[in-house]
Amino acid sequence: MKIELTRFRVLLGKSALANEWLEFLNSNMPAVLETLEGEKMYVETIFSETLDGVDYLYWYSIQGEGGAAVQDSAHEIDKVHLRYWKQCIDPGFAPQELSPRVVMIPERVQRSMV
């Protein structure tokens, strides 16, 4: 099981498009959830934050071993998701990986993540 929390910077001037992207994902949740199976993605959550006038998106995920990469997905929803990514995420900003220090997942829940 892999647990990640990563911060990405939104390109300057792309905040409205990033909001459109998140709304797109929320509005198409059944299709989004369908794609998670092949990725062995148990939990994926996107958070947003504005610091000093700069927008950031944070991805929190819990993923099983051997899942398919979103870039390899044949699902149309993932193709749209990646188009938004390329338009909104600043490639000049190194993603900030946060390190888990304490993981609190009951064993019964962990057993279901296989």
HSE, CB side, 13 Å, CA atoms: give it for residue 67.
21
Does domain 2-112 fall under CATH 3.30.70.100? My reply is yes
pLDDT at 59: 97
Element (H, E) at 74: none
For residue range 10-59, list pLDDT tens digits in order.
999 999 999 999 999 999 999 999 999 889 999 999 999 999 999 999 99
pLDDT of 72 strictly over 90: no
For residue range 22-32, list pLDDT tens digits in order.
999 999 999 99
Render the burial of 56-79: b for 16+ CB within 10 Å, e for the rest.
bbeeebbbeeeeeebeebeeebbe
